[in-house]
Amino acid sequence: MRYLGIGILLLLVFTLTVPPVSAQEFNLSGNNEVKWADGIETIGGDQRTKRYFEDRLNIDGYYGNLRLGLRFTMLQPSEFGEEQTGMETLEKRFLEYTGYDGDLYVRAGHVYTVWGRGLTLALMEDIVQGFDSGLDGVHVKGRTEWVEAEAISGRSEAGYLGLVREAQASGAHVAFNLPYNFTLAGQALLVTPVEAVNSYSESRTWGGYLAYSGPVDAHIEHAQEYVSVSDDENRGTYAGFSTYVGKFGISLDYKNYLYYRYGSGLGSGSTYSQSVDVLPFHSAPIVQREFTSNLFGKHPHIVRFEDEVGAQVEVTWSPGSIGTLVLSMAQSSAHETEDAWLPSLKEEDSPYREVFAELQSYPSPEIYLIGWAGWNEELVYYNEGAVRSRVSWNKRTVLGAKTEYTFSPEWTVLVGAEGMNVEEIQIDDSSESHLEALLNLGFIYRANYSVTAALEMTGEENPDENRDTWFNVQARAFIANRHELLVTIGQERGGLVCTSGKCRLVTPFNGVKVTFTSLF
């Protein structure tokens, strides 16, 4: 409430400094998203009724340089979460002032920002992952031709998934725009948890980066973290380089992370416990390909921010006539020694490596083609919950393609097929492997209406859900350029979904799901 008071004060100040209402245009816009489902979900082999209703109404009011943002949220109950009891609240509110050309920016209420590549501070909300590290506080930014400065302070909210602890966080960031397109920046962050529950009572992080933009772009960033509960100095280093030559584009990313391991606020016995630990206020680059294909993406490597070193190379080739080919390679592992700066190949350091290639093409204006092939392997030896409970080499090989053919001025047909081999080799050399497949068939009418059927199959001997096929149909209607209706009927296999290194286990579901989004 303290910050709401500051917001009202700001509103008064700026209202007095801008022309009267009659001379200004007041604008209101927003969107509303309703999600409803009724069916059965499967958790650990047990089936139970799953019903949820979520509504998020976002409203923005603009008046001159001022913006008032509100979000009303109703969860009756939520799609996922431990309690499943629901929530009805004014979830977000902020008042924002943006000066001419963005030279001055002040926001009170719920605030978000990212400094550099997020090694020191990245405040973000990901509704799909149930992650929200935004602060209820104040955020001020200012800039001149040579200097950009930011300060932020506020309190994080634990949220109903407990992924972010309730804490007071304050920090500052300054960046100097140097000659020859160089940027030099420094930043510091202080986090004080409201309750030091079996964890830390304070963390201090400072960092900085040097960046260059030109024929070769470069960004080198480091963060050093001191956590009161640990004697160790924790740290993160990232370097990114990119360039292009003719039809080739190349990027090289490097990570070296030894962050403090915070862990989820949910207990390990929780049904909805997150399978990974999270960095509440940092979001360092994961340095691996996160979005691959439907099947391949269900077996992601979970980045261990507390102990991981690795690199990724991605090459894009766009010869025009063929289309665009993207080839990505990544290798990572735990640190062989604390000072190691290259990934280890030793099994005890849990190495991970991947290769993924994707080709997109328009052989003719009516035909769109995309094909992909990938391979990865990982030695999983940690015992950190469901996804890391076995000591084994996990290897996956995937091959897939999808095409869309517009066969009349109004109709397009979509056909997709994907197959993946999953192999698990135990340390005693015993192994098992099985195939998985996904088929899609869909029709699109005038870009605004579509219906798609998906059939997923597995050859796994004892699948979690005691089922080896999943079939669903999804219909979409985009009405009057402002309403989107999505209806899915059937079975969904679920699986692990990761974004920015944060993962959520989506439970298998059988029933009806409806999403209705409106813009206004």
Partner 1 sequence: MARTGRWLLLFALAILSATPIWAQGIEGKTAPDFTLKDIDGDRISLADLTKDGPVLLDFWATWCVPCKQAMPKLAEIHEDFEGDGFQLVAISIDNTRSLNKVKPYVRSQGYKFPVLLDTDSQVLRKYRGTSVPHTVLVTQEGTIAKVWIGYHPGEEKEIRAEITALLEGGAGD
Q: What is residue 347's three-state secondary structure?
A: helix
Q: Which of residues 134-163 bind partner 1 (CB under 8 A)?
A: none
Question: Closer to partner 1 at the Cβ: 324 or 421?
Answer: 324
Phi, psi of 300 (to 5 degrees): -80, 155
How many residues are recorded in the chain?
520
Question: Closer to partner 1 at the Cβ: 57 or 487?
Answer: 57
For the CB of residue 336, give the shortest distance to partner 1 in the complex, in Å.
Answer: 25
Is there binding between residue 478 and partner 1 (CB under 8 A)?
yes
Question: Closer to partner 1 at the Cβ: 93 or 165?
Answer: 93
Nearest to 357 by CA among 296, 298, 433, 299: 296
Is there binding between residue 247 and partner 1 (CB under 8 A)?
yes
C-alpha to C-alpha distances, 375 to 31, 72, 203, 225, 466, nearest whole angstrom: 40, 43, 39, 35, 27
Q: Which of 6, 43, 73, 228 binds partner 1 (CB under 8 A)?
A: 73
**CA–CA dist 503, 509 (Å, integer):** 18
**CA–CA dist 358, 322 (Å, integer):** 12
Q: What is residue 181's three-state secondary structure?
A: helix
**CA–CA dist 519, 300 (Å, integer):** 34
Q: Which of 229, 232, 446, 469 binds partner 1 (CB under 8 A)?
A: 446
Sign, Cα dihedral of 289, 293, 295, 298? positive
- The helix (H) or strand (E) run that includes residue 7 is helix 2-17
Is there binding between residue 244 and partner 1 (CB under 8 A)?
yes
- Span interacting with partner 1, options 36-44, 152-160, 278-286, 465-473, rule CB under 8 A: 278-286
Nearest to 189 by CA among 167, 210, 207, 211: 207
Q: Which of 6, 43, 57, 357 binds partner 1 (CB under 8 A)?
A: 57
Q: Which of 166, 336, 384, 404 binds partner 1 (CB under 8 A)?
A: 404
| CA-angle at 135, arms to 110 and 59, nearest 5° | 20
Q: How many residues bind partner 1 (CB under 8 A)?
A: 88
Per-residue x/- track, 83-112, partner 1 (CB under 8 A)? ----xxxxx------x--xx---------x
C-alpha to C-alpha distances, 219 to 53, 210, 254, 496, nearest whole angstrom: 43, 6, 10, 31
Q: Which of 110, 219, 299, 493 binds partner 1 (CB under 8 A)?
A: 219
Q: Which of residues 457-476 bind partner 1 (CB under 8 A)?
A: none
Is there binding between residue 24 and partner 1 (CB under 8 A)?
no
Q: Which of residues 374-403 bind partner 1 (CB under 8 A)?
A: none
For the CB of residue 510, give the shortest distance to partner 1 in the complex, in Å.
Answer: 25
Question: Closer to partner 1 at the Cβ: 101 or 231?
Answer: 101
Q: Which of 251, 270, 397, 421 binds partner 1 (CB under 8 A)?
A: 251
- Span interacting with partner 1, options 39-47, 163-171, 243-251, 454-462, rule CB under 8 A: 243-251
Is there binding between residue 16 and partner 1 (CB under 8 A)?
no
